Amino acid sequence: MLLTEKTALITGAARGIGKQIALAYAKEGCNIAFTDLELNEAAQATRDEIAALGVKVQFYASNAADFDAAHQVVEQVVADFGHLDILVNNAGITRDTLLMRMTEQMWDQVIQVNLKSAFNFTHAVTPVMMRQRSGSIISLSSVVGLNGNAGQANYAASKAGIIALTKSVAKELGGRGIRANAIAPGFILTDMTKALPEDTLKQFVTMIPMRRGGEPEEVAKVALFLASDLSSYVSGQVIQVNGGMA
Ligand code: NAI
């Protein structure tokens, strides 16, 4: 068991990559606090699947882009669980279109949900982890945060911001025993990518040396490594999980 007695907070974990991270942690004995916008069927199912693994689990309905709400969630998690060892900034959205057609609202929404949320939660957990003199903060970036992508200027910028935030946090808080790392997934098969047209999906796969999209469980394995002591001297890094995409 890699995470016995630990508590993890994962944002946007009702489904997709966040859900698989929660399950991977729970299988290693970790207690799970997770957020999403509302307690819908997906969130309830996730909560039940985690509980079936025999760990403590609590769901918090919260908009990760809201600074005060993020702080309230963290305060409540510490009250409910007693401590907080791992934060996973996972909540994210896309509002894809070419730059010329991108509205101010599309830009603002993506930056708020993808990048500001990571600031909100990182800011809220910092005093808690500083007091504990330990903690692991993991944020979901993307391959497009490293390379850019036509039609995703807002999303790519938000994911590049995640990398700079992560590296800065690693430098600021390393002396307090807090590690910060980012995961940059490539093309992962979740609801987010299922929304893409069939042709685009097929085209993506031809660009991947492993000739397939990744499963959310394959991202979760890296998130498990970064949360656990297996990565005790790894900080400020971006780990790509992309089937060999350049
Ligand atoms: P998804 O769309 O399947 O799940 C995202 C979850 O976040 C949903 O449950 C959604 O309700 C929640 N969410 C959205 N806005 C929120 C908010 N304001 N507050 C709280 N929760 C919110 O997406 P997926 O694919 O699981 O992605 C997870 C993360 O991984 C995202 O940050 C995404 O950008 C990133 N990522 C995904 C890739 C992929 O190919 N699927 C590739 C690279 C990065």
Calculate how far, in angstroms, residue 86's C-alpha sits from the geometric centre of ligand 1. 18
Give the residues surrounding ligand 1 with Cβ less than 6 Å away: 11-12, 14-18, 35-37, 63-65, 90-93, 113, 140, 142, 185, 187-188, 190-193
Calculate how far, in angstroms, residue 193's C-alpha sits from the geometric centre of ligand 1. 10
- Condensed to tens digits (0 to 9), the pLDDT of residues 84-123 reads 999 999 999 999 999 999 999 999 999 999 999 999 999 9
Closest residue by CA, ligand 1 atom 38: 188
- Condensed to tens digits (0 to 9), the pLDDT of residues 62-82 reads 999 999 999 999 999 999 999
Mean pLDDT of 26-47: 98
Q: What average pLDDT does the chain have?
A: 97
The pLDDT score that the predictor gives to residue 148 is 97
- Contact (Cβ atoms closer than 8 angstroms) between residue 42 and residue 242: no
Question: Which atom of ligand 1 sits closest to the CA of residue 191?
Answer: 3
In terms of C-beta distances under 8 Å and separation of at least 24 residues, what long-range contacts does 42-48 make, across chains too?
42/14, 42/15, 43/14, 46/13, 46/14, 46/15, 46/19, 46/22
One-letter identity of residue 147: N
Question: Which atom of ligand 1 sits closest to the CA of residue 112?
Answer: 18
d(CA 135, CA 244): 30
Q: Is residue 196 part of a domain?
A: yes
The CATH number given to whatever domain includes residue 45 is 3.40.50.720
Question: Which atom of ligand 1 sits closest to the CA of residue 213?
Answer: 40
Mean pLDDT of 204-214: 94
pLDDT band of 141, cuts 50, 70, 90: very high
In a 3-state reduction of DSSP, which class is residue 40?
A: coil
The pLDDT score that the predictor gives to residue 35 is 99
Closest residue by CA, ligand 1 atom 35: 140
Q: Is the pLDDT score of 214 beyond 90?
A: yes
Q: Is residue 136 part of a domain?
A: yes
Closest residue by CA, ligand 1 atom 6: 12
Q: Is residue 145 part of a domain?
A: yes
Number of domains in the chain: 1
d(CA 46, CA 43): 5
Q: Is residue 1 part of a domain?
A: no
Note if the pTM is more than 0.85: yes
**Within 10 Å of residue 145's Cβ, how many Cβ atoms?**
25
Q: Is residue 2 part of a domain?
A: no
Q: Which tokens in the block code for residue 51? A: 């509980």
For the chain, percent of residues with pLDDT exceeding 70: 100
Residue 155 falls in the annotated catalytic set: yes
Q: Which of 56, 18, 59 is nearest to 40 (CA)?
A: 59
Q: Is residue 225 part of a domain?
A: yes
Print the domain residue range for 233: 7-241
